[in-house]
Structure 1
Amino acid sequence: MPQSLPRRSLLSGASALIASSVLSGCGGDSDDDTKDRVSKQAAPQAGSSGLEKTSITVGAIPILDDAPLYLAIRDGYFKAVGLDVRAEAIPGGAAGIPRLGKDLDITFGNYVSFIQAHTKGLDLRVESDGFQATTDTFGLMVAPGGDMRSPADLKGRTVAVNIRSNILHLLMLSLLSAHNVNEKDVTFVEVPFPDMGTALKKGKVDAAVMVEPFITGAQKDFGAEQLGDVISGPTENLPIAGYACTARWAKENPNTALAFARAMVQAQHECSDRRTVTGILPSYTKIDRQTAAIVRVGAFPATLNPTRIQRVADLMHRFGWLKQKFDVTAMVA
């Protein structure tokens, strides 16, 4: 794959991708809102006065899910639409939200955190989809040789999540419910993704909800085993995360927001090829190329589809995280 694409080629290619009803890596989903938005607005040209901001900072997590963002930076997709994008590392999506409109223009984050923030009064707009989980991409991992055989054995145990009350916590509640385990029977503790393997290895936690590339890293390092798959049953193929900004920022910077979304369409599409994802992983994580080559790769939808994201809000309502049902259409650009 070439390191950069001509501006005109990138913009026309992005428009074609958005207009297509079948896109690699997004399960054939299309999104009328996204197509209408793109068709009604002219694409900002690189270096033109059409961009309200040409330099933006995006909150990012050094995990597999953010591969398209780093790809768009490395291969010049943002530069092709006139943007200079800097990725700012954050520990989780919830940590990036309070920084929006301050030192972050846009942040990557899980949909649970976005929905929670929106329902509490922070008007957010999701500008690009990010990652959709598939089987075995999110694992409930334990150290080898233990006495636990299924999630039903987690009663009285400690489980690590990167941040409480986020998407991983919610996924665990769904898995526990399927095995007749009450949330109160489990102690959830916060452990950053890069530290989960070490916490398991040293016995600081009994189990950890891990993501790639750290699952594969822990399996290679000390033989970590999967106790359960949190992406199963009602959470199968669940949308996990995307890129959002405040509604105010989007209103003040409509062309910049559109330029960002267009470049991400191209990057998300490119990441439908697992070799693209595994190839860029070592550049922004501590995973070596040998480990990166065997990680499990999920899906990177190239269109925003409120119907898919609605599944997250409905799951939150089911477990009492939302007192009332919430229509996500209000926060999808």
Structure 2
Amino acid sequence: MNTKITRLLGAGALLALALTGCASGSISGGEGKAAAAGSGNSDLRDVTIGLFPSSAVGAIQLGIDKGYFEEEGLNLEVLLGQGSAAQLPSLSSGSLDFMLASPTTPLIATAQGLDLKIVSGYAANRPEIVEDSVSVLVGPGSDIKSARDLEGKTVSINALGSIGEIGIREAVELDGGDPNKVTFVQLGFNEVGAQLESGQIQAGMAGPPFMQQIVADGGSVISDFIQDANLGGAELVIASSGALTRNDPALIESFVSALDKTLAYAEEHQDEVRDLLPSVLGTSPEAAAKTDFIAWSAELDVDALKQFADLMEKHGVTEKRPDVESTVWSK
């Protein structure tokens, strides 16, 4: 397994980068598709997926290692960016074939006239476990105790207009606060702990395994906003370009089939994902061992997507309610 990681901090960098990786399928280190084609996997089709630093990297890498994508004739190459919004231009242009995203990203894109499709589910929230998914965290000794206390505070989310923004706004309102008095800044999950410590932010959105590291360092979760806002049914999805779904539906079906096997295996063998986190994300072994995971499944909950659309309109992320039905791909 190749664990070199290309980190992409913005859309410009992603567009400029040749999307490359190892022939065996792995997290890309930028070694070039020519090298991949000449290394013994010429019968496989090179396919690229954009991820952001999270436990999703471990789950996808496990599927690659198990050969599920090769079984479908695919050589899957992974690139890491700060969030799906930063990777959107490359998906639209065809440089990326697939992208892990909050449903807000493709719903906003289609509302703005871009040609994107949600092709499968990826994960749902576990209501019985707070630390399986993204939450709002604070550092040691913080006087912030609940969502209402975020009024007047600077809170990081991984992308503006994302599930973090609509979910936290809704949680603040449900807790009796004014969501318009929260200042949101964009920050990768892997950066939240350091920014909390430095005081640059007062609270931050993070997910596994970075959440566990913040808690281990004395921080705490103050809002399980995904559950509060009723967004847990389709917390993460896989998106592709509309052009690819029309021009090559067989590729979409092959990818979704491999993803389905990958997520089913990862769900049943979570310790194997934990074992991968130190190498693919640089997580400490101690934090990796304590990491709880979101519920992985390729099944798509369309009703949950409708809740996203409702809140996006309510909190001003889009001028009008996104059309869920036209954004979801069907065979």
In the superposition, the TM-score normalised over structure 2's length comes to 0.80
How far 1:66 sits from its partner (Å)?
Answer: 4.1
Match of 1:296 in 2: 292
Q: Which amino acid aligns with 1:78?
A: F
Deviation (angstroms), 1:223: 0.7
**Is this contact kept in 1: 2:49–2:76, CA < 8 A?**
yes
Bigger drift between 91-100 and 131-140 goes to 131-140
1:82 aligns with 2:73: yes
The residue correspondences of 1:1-333 to structure 2 (distance < 5 A) are 54-100=45-91, 101-134=93-126, 135-136=129-130, 137-220=133-216, 222-235=217-230, 237-273=232-268, 274-333=270-329
Per-residue deviation, 1:295: 1.2
8 A contact 2:111–2:323 mirrored in 1: no
- Offset at residue 270 of structure 1 (A): 1.2
Q: Deviations over 1:186-228 (max 9, x none)?
A: 11111221111000011111111111111101122x2111222
Per the alignment, residue 15 of structure 2 pairs with none
Q: What SS does structure 2 have at the residue aligned with 1:65? A: helix
Q: Distance in 2 between matches of 1:124 and 1:189?
A: 26
**Residues 303/154 of structure 1: CA separation in 2 closer, same or farther (3 Å cut):** closer
Q: SS at 1:147's partner residue? A: coil
**CA 1:167/1:155 → structure 2, altered by over 3 Å: closer, same or farther?**
same
Task: After TM superposition, give the deviation of residue 47 of structure 1 in Å.
Answer: 8.2
8 A contact 1:68–1:264 mirrored in 2: no
What is the DSSP-based 3-state SS (H/G/I as helix, E as strand, rest coil) of the residue aligned with 2:240? Answer: strand
State how far apart, in whole Å, the 1-side matches of 2:124 and 2:328 are: 16
Judging changes above 3 Å, is the alpha-carbon distance between structure 1 residues 308 and 187 closer, same or farther for their aligned structure 2 residues? closer
- In structure 2, what is the Cα distance between the partners aligned to 1:286 and 1:75? 21
TM-score (norm 1): 0.79
CA RMSD, aligned part only? 2.0
Listed one character per residue, the Cα deviations across residues 65-109 of structure 1 (whole Å, up to 9, x for unaligned) are: 344322222221111111111001111011111111342111111
Gaps of at least 5 residues in structure 2 are 1-40
1:236 shift after superposition: 5.6
Specify the code of the residue in structure 2 equivalent to 1:119: A
| Contact 1:271-1:300 at 8 Å conserved across structures | yes
Task: Call closer, same or farther: CA 1:188–1:233 in 2, change over 3 Å.
Answer: closer
Q: What stretches of structure 1 of length at least 5 have no aligned partner?
A: 1-45
Contact 1:91 1:192 in 2 (8 A): yes
CA separation in 2, counterparts of 1:235 and 1:244?
Answer: 21
Alpha-carbon distance between aligned partners in 2 of 1:247 and 1:150, rounded to the nearest angstrom = 40
Q: Distance in 1 between matches of 2:83 and 2:284?
A: 22
Deviating more after overlay: 322-331 vs 207-216: 322-331
**Match of 1:107, SS?**
strand
Query: Matched residue of 1:232: which SS?
Result: helix
SS in 1 for 2:214: helix
Deviation per CA, 1:122-160, whole angstroms, max 9, x where unpaired? Answer: 121222211222341222111111222322222221111
- Identical residues among aligned pairs (%): 25
